[in-house]
Every structure is written in structure tokens, then in C-alpha cells.
Structure 1
Amino acid sequence: MLEAVIHGMIISFGLILPLGVQNIFVFNQGALHPKFRSALPVIITASLCDTLLIAAAVGGVSLIVLSVEWVAPVLYGAGVVFLSFMGWKTWTGIPEEGEVKVLSMRGQVVYALSVSLLNPHAIMDTIGVIGTSSLQYGGGERWAFAAATAGVSWLWFTGLAGAGRLLGRADSSGRFVRLLNKISALLIWAVAIYMGMQLTANL
């Protein structure tokens, strides 16, 4: 049981640490909102979405998806389009000097849902890595593995928003946040290019 928990935590950290669309959004909302509790909607929504995807993958969706040949190319193709668009949104949505762009609770939830559940790259990571890794365990161990991976998401998003809030306080001009957004947009486009290469390899 302990082995499954540690394995789940390591895999989850490995997948969640890279700077993706979801991470960028959670961090930015933490940085832009005047109070940490104002960013709770995005933290809870992103964490719940990850938990749902992990539960589905561990519950057997991975076996179904990976057994259908056309699913992977379709997801990779959708991932290229999605990430290209999100990179553009990240770049063009950078606040100007002295401007603050914060989302309402509804806006946070809707946007977090889109970058969590409509992100083919995240879906492929969950199904292809977490789902298949869970197959080596059975019964309670498999769900302990799933709980560990999901638990990391909850802790990570909470810490990420908290780090954003600390940065928001230290960087009142918003210059660092704008620079981070530009770098983030470039990284998102780089991932889109990588997924395009994966799509080509799968055709």
C-alpha cells in the first residue's frame, strides 16, 4: 500500500510540475486577486477536475482509450489546436502597466474547467501515464495510488495560488507577472509544437 502511495505521489509531481496552462492560470489568479480566498474557486475547480480525470483513468478508461487506434492522433491534433489558442490567449491577455485583470468566481470556474477538462495534453498525461501505471496494482492499492496522485494536485494548486499571492504582494507593479505570462505563452506554444511532432509520428 505504501509503495503505491509513494509511486502515485512521484508520478503526480512529475506530471504537474511542468509549467502548463492549468498551472499558469492558477498561479496568475493567486497573484492578481487581492486576497488568497478570492482564488479558492480556481483552486477547488482545478483540483476537482484532476481528481475526476485520475479516477476515470484508474477506473479503466485508459484501457478503453489506448485500445482504439484513432484516439491518440485525434487527441494530439486537438491538443495542438487547444494549446496554440491558449498560448495566444495568454499572450494577448497580459495586463498593461497599472492594469489588473481578475476573474469573478464564475469566470474562474469556467476557465479552470476549460484548461482542465478540454486540454488534450493533460488528458493524455492522465490516461497514458497515471492510468497505465495504476494497472500494476489491484484493489485497494490501485485506489490508494489514485488518492495519492489526486492529493498531490490539491496540495500543489493550493501552494501555487499561495505563491502567486505572495508574488502579487511583492510585485505591486505587475511587471514580473507580465514577464511570466510572456514566458508561459512561449512555453505553451513549445508544447503545442511537441504535440504536433507526436501527431506526425502517430500518423
Structure 2
Amino acid sequence: MAEAIVHGIILAFGLILPLGVQNIFVFNQGAQHPRFRSVLPVVLTASLCDTLLIGGAVGGVSLVIVSLDWVTPVIYSAGILFLLFMGWRIWRSAPATAEGKRLSPKGQIAYALSVSLLNPHALLDTVGVIGTSSLQYDSAERWVFAAATAAVSWIWFLSLAAAGRILGRVDSSGRIIRGLNSVSALLVWAIAVYMGVQLWRVF
């Protein structure tokens, strides 16, 4: 049981730490809002989406997905388009201190749903990595493993939003966050190119 917990925590941190559109969005919303409670909709939505994806993957979706040869190319193709578009949105975004960029609770939820459920890395990580990794455990340990990975998501998104709020207070001009957004956009495009190479190899 302890092995499943430790394995789940380490694996989840390894998957969630790399910079991606989901992390960027949660961080930026934390920086944009004057109160931490105002960014809770995006934190809760992102965390719940990860929990549902992990639960589905551990519950058996992984076995179905990996058995279908056409699924991976479709996910990669859609993912490349999604990442190119999100990179463009991040690149053109105004500094996080801009009043007009603060999303309402509904806007936060809608955007968080898109970057969580349409994010190819989230799908590939949960289904391809977490789901298949859980198969080494029996029924009870498998769900303990899933709970550990899901807990990391909740802690991570809360911490990310809090870090964004701190930087938002320090960086009143928005220059630092604008620079981070530019770097983030380049990284997202780089991931899209990498996925394009992987897709080419599939064919």
C-alpha cells in the first residue's frame, strides 16, 4: 500500500511539473486576481478534471484506448492544432495585471475545462502513463495509487495559483509575467513540433 502511494506521488509530480497550457493558465489567473479566493474556480476545475481523468484511466479506459491503433494519431493530430492555437493565445496575451484579462468564474471554468480535457498531454499522461502504471497493482492498491496521484494535482494547482498571486503583487507592471508568457508560448510551440515529429513517425 505504501509503495503504491509513493509511486503515485512521484509519478504525478514528474508528469505535472513540466510547463504546459494548464499550468500556465492556473498561474496567470492567480497573478491576475487581487484575492486568492477569486481564482478558486480555475483551481477546482483543473483539479477535478485531473481527478476524473485519472479515475477513468485507472478504472480501465487505458486498456480500451491502447488497444485501438487509430486513437493515438487522432489524439496527436488534435493535440498539435490545440497547442499551436494555445501558444498563439499565450503569446498575444496582455500582462497579467491587465484588468480586462481577469476572467469571471464562468470564464475560468470554461477555459480550465478546455485546457484540461482538450490538452493532449493531460490525456496522454493520464491514459498512457498513469493508467498503464496502475495495472501492476491489485484492485485496492490501484485506487490508492490513483488517490495519491490525484492529491498531487490538488496540491499543485493550489500552490501554483498562490505562487501566481505572490508574483502578481510583486510585479505590478506585469513585465515579468509577460516575459514568462512569451517563454511559455515558445515552449508550447516546441511541444507541438515534437508531437508533429512523433506523429510523422507513426505514419
Q: Aligning the two structures, in what range does the TM-score lie when normalised by the shorter sequence?
A: over 0.9
In structure 2, distance between residues paired with 1:6 and 1:68 = 31
Aligned residue for 2:18?
Answer: 18
Does the CA contact (< 8 Å) of 2:32 and 2:98 recur in 1? no
Equivalent position SS for 2:187: helix
Does the CA contact (< 8 Å) of 2:95 and 2:175 recur in 1? no
- Structure 2 unaligned residues grouped into runs of 5+: none
- Structure 1 unaligned residues grouped into runs of 5+: none
Deviation at 1:120, TM superposition (A): 1.7
Aligned residue for 1:202?
Answer: 202
In structure 1, distance between residues paired with 2:41 and 2:120 = 22
Aligned residue for 2:69?
Answer: 69
Equivalent position SS for 1:194: helix
Aligned residue for 2:85?
Answer: 85
Deviation at 1:139, TM superposition (A): 1.1
In structure 1, distance between residues paired with 2:93 and 2:124 = 27
In structure 1, distance between residues paired with 2:19 and 2:95 = 20
1:129-168 counterparts in 2 under 5 A? 129-168=129-168
Deviation at 1:94, TM superposition (A): 2.5
Deviation at 1:138, TM superposition (A): 0.9
Does the CA contact (< 8 Å) of 1:45 and 1:109 recur in 2? yes
Out of 119-128 and 142-151, give the one that drifted further: 119-128
Aligned length: 202
In the alignment, residue 16 of structure 1 is paired with which amino acid? I
Post-superposition Cα deviations, 1:108-148, rounded to whole Å, max 9, x if no partner, equal 00000000001122101111100000000011100000000
In structure 1, distance between residues paired with 2:64 and 2:77 = 19
| CA RMSD across the alignment | 1.0
Aligned residue for 2:98?
Answer: 99
| TM, length-normalised to structure 1 | 0.97
In the alignment, residue 26 of structure 2 is paired with which amino acid? V
Aligned residue for 2:173?
Answer: 173
Deviation at 1:62, TM superposition (A): 0.4
Does the CA contact (< 8 Å) of 1:79 and 1:192 recur in 2? yes
Moved over 4 A (4+): none
In structure 2, distance between residues paired with 1:2 and 1:16 = 21
Does the CA contact (< 8 Å) of 1:94 and 1:181 recur in 2? no
Equivalent position SS for 1:161: helix
